[in-house]
Structure 1
Amino acid sequence: MTAAPIRTLTRRRTLTAGESGSLWAASPSCGILEFRGTRLRLTVDDPAEVLFPTDCGLSLIAALDGGEGPDLKGVNALDIGSGSGLYSVALLAAGAERVTALDINPASAAQTAANVVANGLDTTRLTCVTSPLAEYTPDERFDLVITNPPHLPHDPSYARADGLETALVARRGGRAVYDDVVERMDALLAPGGTLLMAHSSLSDIPRTVAELTARGYESDTLEIFEMDIPLLAYAEHMDTMLSLLKERRAAGRAEFDGTRFTVHALMFRRPWDAPHR
């Protein structure tokens, strides 16, 4: 089976430089957005434990709200790296039958559940799981998987053991979770299912697309967003992080201009005749 290439003529949004949360109607302690006709409200009780959703993660929601992407009604979905529950809340509000919110951070489960309750959604349709993706072995495969993996490169000088670290920074040059998603997708996504991903240009988009295409997945780009690299949380170590990113860019594994990068809202479809791995 020949996988469809990513479209070259894709809508591109440029977010204003130097402004945080420009896709939110309100920020930063409370985010308000409308998704497929429903007004939603997201809060984070402790931003040091659970990252308030950034424009990187919100970009995928914005792309899906524009009429692109799959029908979400009735799907059984997996939210990888659920964080505050942005995607879980949006999916449930759009009519998903069930959502499993997976995150390595224990504080994520409570925050996700709280945001589901705050939006008047049915908590019996939500399951929260605390586990690394590599160790997660569900009893079923999902119709839809959605994720915004951490994408900044790890360095001991700014490593920290909190929710901000798990949400933004990943080993293997920022690709650890992307690699795990690719490796586990055949076991997690049912034939005919859809993977939705907010993919940072700092973490080698062509590699992810090539590896999933080699597995037979059809790929598409819903939208591209240009925005600031999230360096404010690492202001003391900005030079170190930018140096690491420049090394990756020189090796052809990252794309950015100054402190601006892009996030691609990607959609991958697994063929119906895909073998079980």
Structure 2
Amino acid sequence: MASVLGVDRSADALVLAPGVYAPQSDTFLLAGALEREPLRPNAEVLDVGTGPGTLALAAARRGARVTAVDRSWRAVAATRLNAVLARQRVRVLRGDLLEPAAGRRFDLILCNPPYVPAPRPEVPRRGASVAWDAGHDGRAVLDRVCDGAADLLHPGGALLLVHSALSGVRATLDRLRGAGLDAAVVERRLVPFGPVLRSRADWLERQGLIAPGEEKEELVIIRADRV
């Protein structure tokens, strides 16, 4: 494992793996929302697309019973190792989005999905871009989360979801409300473009998604409650 995994000491000594999404602005924004979330003792928490387990471990440290899911074997391995190193109990499952948790119910679902609009319409199946590319409109994964989250929430449970405004805030709210959830934006933050958006700024401009010379994107946290 030492040949595959490396330690990133800037991210709370998390062990990271090549090709696994490292904690970035969207991760930290969602972690802040989690920190403000009231969690009862032994709350059931699902972290969808856990990456190296940043959010899963944050929830576990607060006494939650955490299930973390990722489609990447490397992410699963990294999260399991990080949980051991942090002395936290996290159930880590490999699978596609919500599917590994089918039939269960949670008090809180956390999700930082792929949401970046991409020149290629199909979602990549391998490579680092799996963690961010989500079709022309950035909604290939978002819509699936919006459609399926309600079935995994206890009454009174909530989904906390982060994504870029480039992939359509209104579309997310409408989709969640159509699934029976009470959804609203609870936080917004402007952040500088990262390497991916900078590399495709010309394409985003041609698509009308950004203005000429634009260098920042708006991240949003959306909370959706099952009432």
TM-score range, shorter chain: 0.7 to 0.9
Question: Alpha-carbon deviation of 1:78?
Answer: 1.1
User: Equivalent residues in 2 for 1:1-277 (5 A)?
Assistant: 29-32=8-11, 40-44=12-16, 46=17, 48-65=18-35, 68-71=36-39, 73-96=41-64, 98-122=65-89, 126-133=90-97, 135-136=99-100, 138-156=102-120, 161-162=126-127, 164-230=128-194, 232-233=195-196, 238=199, 241-249=200-208, 258-271=214-227
Partner of 1:10: none
Deviation at 1:166, TM superposition (A): 1.6
For the structure 1 residues 244 and 270, does the alpha-carbon distance in structure 2 shift closer, same or farther, using more than 3 Å as the test? farther
Distance 1:160 1:136, change over 3 A: closer
Report the residue type matching 1:203 in the other structure.
S
Question: In the alignment, is the contact (CA less than 8 A) between 2:177 and 2:183 conserved in 1?
Answer: yes
**TM-score w.r.t. length of structure 1:** 0.70
| Count of aligned pairs | 219
- SS state of the match for residue 170, structure 1? coil
- Partner-residue secondary structure (3-state), 2:37: coil
Aligned counterparts of 1:256 and 1:82: Cα–Cα separation in 2: 34
Per-residue deviation, 1:118: 1.7
Does structure 1 retain, via aligned residues, the 8 Å contact 2:116–2:164? no
Distance 1:199 1:75, change over 3 A: same
Say if 1:43 and 1:52, in contact at 8 Å, map to a contact too.
no
Segments of 5+ residues of structure 2 without an aligned counterpart are: 1-6
Higher mean Cα deviation, 146-155 or 104-113?
Answer: 146-155
Q: Is the 8 A contact 2:103 2:152 kept in 1?
A: no
The Cα shift of 1:62 comes to 2.2
1:209–1:114 CA distance, 2 compared to 1 (3 A): same
Alignment-mate amino acid for residue 188 of structure 1: L
Structure 1 residue 210 displacement after superposition: 1.6
Provide, for residues 222-241 of structure 1, a one-character-per-residue CA deviation record: whole Å limited to 9, x for no partner. Answer: 322211222x2576xx2xx2
Residue 257 of structure 1, CA deviation: 7.0
Over 3 Å counting, the alpha-carbon distance change for 1:136 and 1:121 in structure 2 is: closer
Deviation at residue 140 of structure 1 after TM alignment: 1.3
What is the one-letter code of the residue matched to 2:216?
R
Distance in 1 of aligned mates of 2:9 and 2:69:
22
- The answer to whether the 8 Å contact 2:117/2:135 transfers is yes
Which of structures 1 and 2 has the larger relative contact order (alpha carbons within 8 angstroms, sep 6+)? 1
One-letter code of the match for 1:120? R
